[in-house]
């Protein structure tokens, strides 16, 4: 049986579908940053430090039920995502950030879950790009 949030997400799937946006658009990022080496440094910082810290804080304020702070953190994440080409992450955060007038907890829940999912997917895509570029071994062997 689906939860209310799952039903709402399914009902609004098209509205929440971000699959047409790339997880990482390097060309777009290079328009802002200019250098692939600098982009690689920024992306490495993003997946190793800023996104894990932001995700931890996001989960903490979510658990406390502080939707205003959830939206504030989404805004912060979006700010970084804009410059490094993580387009889908930017869009997921933007949807959650702009949902401040939504009084439907199920909708907010769906948008929050989408941000968490897209953060994880973005980290994977960034790690793969960095590894393919030979910048760093993001996925060390056990």
Q: What CA–CA distance (Å, rounded) separates 39 from 90?
A: 17
All domains of the chain, ordered by start, with CATH?
4-12+22-132 (1.20.120.160)
Residue 18 pLDDT: 96
Q: Flag residues of the chain having pLDDT under 70.
A: 1-15, 100-104, 135-142
Residue 133 pLDDT: 85
Length, in residues, of the chain: 142
Q: Is the pTM of this model over 0.85?
A: no
Selection from 128, 121, 120, 138 nearest residue 58 by Cα: 120
Q: What CA–CA distance (Å, rounded) separates 21 from 87?
A: 6
Residue 8 pLDDT: 47
Residue 4 pLDDT: 44
Q: What CA–CA distance (Å, rounded) separates 94 from 129?
A: 24
Q: What CA–CA distance (Å, rounded) separates 14 from 27?
A: 27
């Amino acid at each position: 049986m689906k939860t209310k949030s799952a039903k709402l997400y399914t009902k609004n799937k098209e509205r929440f579908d971000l699959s047409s946006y790339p997880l990482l658009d390097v060309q777009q990022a290079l328009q802002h940053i200019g250098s692939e080496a600098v982009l690689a440094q920024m992306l490495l910082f993003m997946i190793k430090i800023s996104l894990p810290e932001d995700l931890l804080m996001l989960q903490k304020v979510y658990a406390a039920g502080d939707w205003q702070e959830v939206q504030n953190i989404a805004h912060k994440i979006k700010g970084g995502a804009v410059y490094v080409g993580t387009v889908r992450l930017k869009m997921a955060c933007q949807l959650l950030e702009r949902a401040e007038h939504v009084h439907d907890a199920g909708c907010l829940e769906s948008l929050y879950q989408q941000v968490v999912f897209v953060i994880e997917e973005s980290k994977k895509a960034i790690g793969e790009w960095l590894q393919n570029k030979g910048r760093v071994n993001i996925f060390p062997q056990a």
